[in-house]
Chain A
Amino acid sequence: MKLGILINEGPYQHQASDTALQYVKAALKKGHEIYRVFFYNDGVNNATRLATPPQDDRNITKEWASLAKDHGIDLVVCVAAAQRRGILDKGEAERNGKDSDNIEDGFRISGLGQLVEAGIQADRLITFGD
């Protein structure tokens, strides 16, 4: 089955991103396809490669990035939510005159249309948030 995932909460805030990660891993193991993971509201904070959690703690951003790499998952960050929270790719940094970008490899910035599309194309859309 094709599954769409919506994440509305940042990493280390409560538990939504951890639950979503475990859910996605279990779904992949069962042979389901993850159509897209859409990061919205504070969920966009999952996409910064500059986060440096302690070495003995999980690195949620890296876990998403490596899942995306291994399984070809489309990780999409909402552009308007990202701009408000300082999550930028190279193009957005240049367009807004910022001195750097911070998005992790495997994530891409796009619009809400991508969430609507996931809702239409996926068989289920499952929301994780706070």
Chain B
Amino acid sequence: MNMLHTINKSPFENSTMSSCIAMCSQDSSILFIEDGVISVMKSTKFSELIENALKEFKMYVLKPDLEARGLSLNNVIEGVEIVGYDEFVDLTTEHKTVQSWL
């Protein structure tokens, strides 16, 4: 189902991100917000999982939350789209439903 998943937790904190990727169906998208933004950094133990998942899902990360944490935009894994709140709103309206993983 055409669903937007939002992830707001660091993958180093709990298993939300891995569970979401395992559960997601193919035409879904994933938006990383709040502490979730750390998921899409290059060279972590989760980078490979993200890179593989990018072949199946579109992924987005919220720019203000990257900046609030001092995370460099250059360190975002290629293929993950960096978006603002305007695009966050568009993503929620373009998908049929929104699942917030908390």
Contact = CB atoms under 8 A, between A and B. Distances in A.
Contacts of B102: 8, 127, 129-130
Interface string B72-98: 000000000000111011101100011
B34 interface: yes
Interface in A107-127: 123-127
Contacts of A1: 93
B86 A127 contact: no
SS of B interface (majority): helix
Contacts of A16: 8, 34
B8 A32 contact: no
B89 A14 contact: no
Contacts, number: 49
B33 A19 contact: yes
A14 B34 contact: yes
Interface in A2-56: 3, 8, 14-16, 19, 22-23, 25-27, 29-30, 32
B91 to A, nearest CB: 10
B92 A127 contact: no
SS of A interface (majority): mixed
Interface residues of B, number: 18
Contact of A3 (B84, B90, B92, B100): B92
B27 to A, nearest CB: 17
B64 interface: yes
A126 B93 CA distance: 10
A27 B100 contact: no
A126 B92 contact: yes
Which of the listed residues B86, B89, B92, B98 has the most CB atoms from chain A within 10 Å of its own CB? B89
Contact of B88 (A8, A23, A127): A23
19 contacts: A3-B92, A14-B34, A15-B34, A16-B8, A19-B8, A19-B33, A19-B34, A22-B64, A23-B88, A25-B85, A26-B86, A27-B89, A30-B90, A32-B89, A124-B92, A125-B98, A126-B100, A129-B102, A130-B8
Interface of A: 1, 3, 8, 14-16, 19, 22-23, 25-27, 29-30, 32, 123-130
